[in-house]
Amino acid sequence: MKDSTGAGAAEHAPIAILGGSAEARVLAERLGNRARLWLPRTDRVSGQRASRLRDVRDLLTGASAIIIAPHPCDVDTLRLGAQLAKLSDLPKLTLSRPAWRPTRLDRWVTVRSAKEAAAVIPAGARVLVTLGRPALRDLRAMRNAHLFVRQLNIHSEAFSLKHGRYLHGVAPFTIAQEIALMRTFRIDAVLTRNAGGPGGWPKIAAARALGLPVYMVARPRVDTGPVATSVEAALDWLEARTWLDA
């Protein structure tokens, strides 16, 4: 039997998850009806709509802990998580998969933003871009480059730059598929962000196999407190901190 200090209530209180990553979805599934998942927008993989919370702070009402688990490169949601962590005295944990790390076989150029990448990618380059449509406004300076911008959702929007096109496709992609795509479009550089995880890795492996440079946008540095790098580690943390059933 639990004591009378609130431990018993915490055993059944919801776990607030500030989501957006694959790990957030898996954690919510593992927690079942204990999970209270908030998504910053439509999830691009599952298609699940953002929660209809008028105020994201409602996420914390009655919760026993908060897990900050957006996409590791989603700076806006990371900053929101940091703000929520400061506003609340709840136990809090950031769930973030490990970043990719280059080997001696990789040709990485680390940049802080798409705008910085645009300043260092050679003129006339044919670049596979996996930063999404919003990044195009920061890539306009690359007037002579040909940009091939991956899109995971089909749309009919016209390409906004003079040279290039959208490449529509359905993830996950294999290394062989990525190599074939890069050869078909004569890609000579890749511009991506350091998302980590297995989903986006094939394009990095393909660039390595073809000897192509990868312009890697580094993860934003946002202090959100202690970090777990896997769903299992987050569950262990919850069990220890909130009396979660094993």
Query: Which contiguous run of DSSP H or E holds residue 164?
Result: strand 164-168
Q: Is 2 within the bounds of a domain?
A: no
Beta strands of 194-230 (E only): which ranges?
Answer: 214-217, 227-228
Residues 91 and 128 in one domain: no
Residues 123 and 85 in one domain: no
Tell the residue number behind the tokens 């946002």, with chain if given: 222
DSSP state of 158: P
Q: Is 186 within the bounds of a domain?
A: yes
Q: Is 178 within the bounds of a domain?
A: yes
Residues 94 and 152 in one domain: no
Number of separate domains in the chain: 2
Model confidence at 58, pLDDT cuts 50, 70, 90, reads confident
Residues 157 and 213 in one domain: yes
Residues 212 and 226 in one domain: no
On average, the pLDDT of the chain sits at 87
Residues 194 and 233 in one domain: no
Q: What is the pLDDT of residues 184-231, one digit of tens each?
A: 999 999 999 999 999 999 999 999 999 999 999 999 888 888 999 999
Range of the domain at 19: 7-98+221-242
Surface-to-core class of residue 195, CB atoms within 10 Å of its CB (0-12 exposed, 13-18 middle, 19+ buried)? buried
Residues 71 and 149 in one domain: no
Residues 28 and 123 in one domain: no
CATH label of the domain that carries residue 181: 3.40.50.150
Model confidence at 180, pLDDT cuts 50, 70, 90, reads very high
Between the alpha carbon of residue 126 and those of residues 187, 192, 206, 207, the distances in Å are 5, 14, 15, 13
Query: Rounded to 5 degrees, what are φ and ψ at 205?
Result: -65, -35
Of the listed ranges 73-87, 93-107, 228-242, the one predicted with least confidence: 73-87
DSSP state of 241: H
Residues 138 and 188 in one domain: yes
CATH label of the domain that carries residue 231: 3.40.50
Residues 117 and 179 in one domain: yes
In sign, the C-alpha dihedral spanning 197, 203, 204, 205 is positive
- What is the pTM for the complete model shown? 0.84
Residues 155 and 197 in one domain: yes
Q: Is 189 within the bounds of a domain?
A: yes
